[in-house]
């Protein structure tokens, strides 16, 4: 039978916006000594906005944004939303309009009569592909186009012009995320998106440290961006450029080294790591996949709730021992 105190603890948690899967979770919460924090959407808001376009020589900034926006319109990544929104900023309100001939779903019928319409002003995309942790590709107006991290362009043997690389590195050093755009085998430029550290993240990290937990920042984003965000919130251990499939390996490595690991994340790309961790905490503002894989959901999406959860478990179990 479950001690009453444990049930009371989970009930108290619920009132604090900390949803605990079951009373047994409190025991692993008490034991954690390391906390791995996903960057985008966990430490930062994950709401990104386009802040700069870096066209390659001979490319019009509008064209760069139009092709990238068309591709990103089909992706749900926060970076993608920022770029698609910026590309449709002038005609975005007309999103619902259906271009003639593209077809739509007939009311009361289940027969799709064509591909979903592209938002007005943006070209349609064929052969769309999304590679988790890398970016997207597809055919836009007959051109094979890609948008994503450096490694994605390298995959297609596309070289970055020096001027683009220089401007991109400068933006990254400021903690901004840069994605690169290419079509027809040639770099077309880069797009800079910026995210914001949540106002509560710094205090949350300090609280976790005060509880004796070592914080580690984990991200698929590059090292410069990761370090800038880490130093903003007071974290000194960073694991950057970790592919979605490898996030779980980072948790396993720490466990093999004897750590009892809590992982906090929000994305589909965090789900496996959340399940592997001794304690998985998801942001209530995150994806269903992350929430389902976790032991605790922080309803408010506030990282300080992670520290509250540790305090709660210690207080609850303290009353039992
Ligand atoms: P995080 O771990 O910070 O949540 P992800 O693993 O989702 O980040 O993505 C890692 C990197 O892959 C991004 O920083 C970006 O460079 C690239 N990327 C992923 N999805 C996209 C996309 N839809 N468009 C462009 N770039 C992308
Ligand atoms: Mg994330």
Over residues 50-62, the pLDDT tens digits come to: 999 999 999 999 9
The ranges of the chain annotated as CATH 3.40.50.1000 are: 4-45+197-320
Instruction: Report whether residue 149 contacts ligand 1, using a CB cutoff of 6 Å.
Output: yes
* Residues 146 and 182: beta-carbon distance below 8 Å: yes
- Tokens 């916006």 locate to 17
- Torsion from C-alpha of 65, 66, 68, 74, nearest 10 degrees: 130
Instruction: Report whether residue 136 contacts ligand 1, using a CB cutoff of 6 Å.
Output: yes
Identify the active-site residue in 33, 38, 232, 278: 38
Instruction: Report whether residue 193 contacts ligand 1, using a CB cutoff of 6 Å.
Output: no
* CATH 3.40.50.1000 assigned to 4-45+197-320: yes
pLDDT recorded at residue 319 = 67
The ranges of the chain annotated as CATH 3.40.1110.10 are: 49-194
* Residues 137 and 144: beta-carbon distance below 8 Å: yes
* CATH fold of 49-194: Calcium-transporting ATPase, cytoplasmic domain N (3.40.1110)
pLDDT digits (tens, 9 = 90+) for 234-289: 999 999 999 989 999 999 999 999 999 999 999 999 999 999 999 999 999 999 99
pLDDT recorded at residue 5 = 84
Mean pLDDT by 10 residues, the chain (321 residues): 81 92 89 96 94 97 97 92 89 38 36 52 93 94 96 95 97 93 97 95 98 97 94 97 94 98 95 97 95 96 95 83 56
Q: Give the three-class secondary structure for 181.
A: strand
Judge whether 195 counts as a catalytic residue: no
pLDDT recorded at residue 111 = 42
**How many Å lie between the centroid of ligand 2 and the Cα of residue 126?**
28
pLDDT recorded at residue 9 = 84
Whether the model pTM is above 0.90: no
Phi, psi of 73 (to 5 degrees): -60, -25
Instruction: Report whether residue 265 contacts ligand 1, using a CB cutoff of 6 Å.
Output: no
Rounded Cα distance, 59 and 185, in Å? 14
- DSSP H helical segments within the chain, as ranges? 4-15, 25-31, 61-72, 78-87, 150-155, 162-173, 201-210, 223-233, 247-256, 271-276, 288-293, 304-320
Instruction: Supply the residue whose CA is at minimum distance from atom 13 of ligand 1.
Output: 221
């Amino acid at each position: 039978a479950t001690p009453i105190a444990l049930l009371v603890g989970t009930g108290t948690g619920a009132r604090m916006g900390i949803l605990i899967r079951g009373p047994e979770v409190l025991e692993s919460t008490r034991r954690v000594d390391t906390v791995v924090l996903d960057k985008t959407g966990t430490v930062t808001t994950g709401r990104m906005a386009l802040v700069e376009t870096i066209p390659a020589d001979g490319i019009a900034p509008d064209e760069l944004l139009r092709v990238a926006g068309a591709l990103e319109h089909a992706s749900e990544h926060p970076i993608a939303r920022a770029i698609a929104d910026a590309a449709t900023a002038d005609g975005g309100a007309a999103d619902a309009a259906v271009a003639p001939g593209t077809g739509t779903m007939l009311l009361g019928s289940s027969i799709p009569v064509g591909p979903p319409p592209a938002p007005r002003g943006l070209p349609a995309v064929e052969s769309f592909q999304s590679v988790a942790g890398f970016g997207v590709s597809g055919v836009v107006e007959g051109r094979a186009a890609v948008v994503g991290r450096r490694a994605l362009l390298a995959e297609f043997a596309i070289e970055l012009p020096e001027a683009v690389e220089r401007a991109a590195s400068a933006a990254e050093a400021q903690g901004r995320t840069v994605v690169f755009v290419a079509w027809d085998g040639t770099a077309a430029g880069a797009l800079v998106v910026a995210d914001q550290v949540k106002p509560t993240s710094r205090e949350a990290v300090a609280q976790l440290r005060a509880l004796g937990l070592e914080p580690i920042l984990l991200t698929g984003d590059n090292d410069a961006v990761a370090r800038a965000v880490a130093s903003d919130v007071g974290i000194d251990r960073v694991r950057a450029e970790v592919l979605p499939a490898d996030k779980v390996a980072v948790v396993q490595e720490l466990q093999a080294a004897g750590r009892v690991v809590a992982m906090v994340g929000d994305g589909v790309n965090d789900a496996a790591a959340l399940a592997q961790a001794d304690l998985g905490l998801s942001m209530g503002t995150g994806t269903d996949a992350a929430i389902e894989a976790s032991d605790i959901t922080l309803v408010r999406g506030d990282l300080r709730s992670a520290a509250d959860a540790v305090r709660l478990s210690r207080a609850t179990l303290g009353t039992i021992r």
